[in-house]
Amino acid sequence: MFQSNDLGAQPPTVPPVQSTKRKPRREKVTNVLYGSLEVLDRTIKHLHTLHYADPDDWSDPIPSGKDSQWMAVLIKHLLIE
């Protein structure tokens, strides 16, 4: 009535489960602010209150080439997990 289909077949093999965890790595992000000296100062201080960056980590203001506009740069390294 029932016939065996077992002709010496091996059970299917299952590939090993790969770990979904990645190695933590450092990545660099460059932050650039443009605006008046007052706006740069206020924004840098606000980002400090949010614990994003220390004010001393920013570059000194650099003239942007446009009237009354300055630029400040921060390069931050973040750990990506």
Q: Give the span between the Cα atoms of 53 and 30, in whole angstroms.
A: 12
Cross-strand partners of 27:
78
Report domain extents, the chain.
25-80
Q: Which two tokens stand for residue 23?
A: 């190695």
Instruction: Give CA–CA dist 25/20, Å, rounded.
Output: 15
Q: Cβ distance 52 to 46 under 8 Å? A: no
Task: Answer whether residue 2 shows pLDDT above 60.
Answer: no
Whether the pLDDT of residue 78 is over 80: the answer is: yes
pLDDT digits (tens, 9 = 90+) for 7-42: 666 777 777 766 667 789 999 999 999 999 999 999
Cα–Cα dist 67/70, whole Å: 9
User: Please, are residues 59 and 44 in contact by the beta-carbon 8 Å criterion?
Assistant: no
Q: Between 5 and 56, where is the model more confident? A: 56
The rounded mean pLDDT for the chain is 88
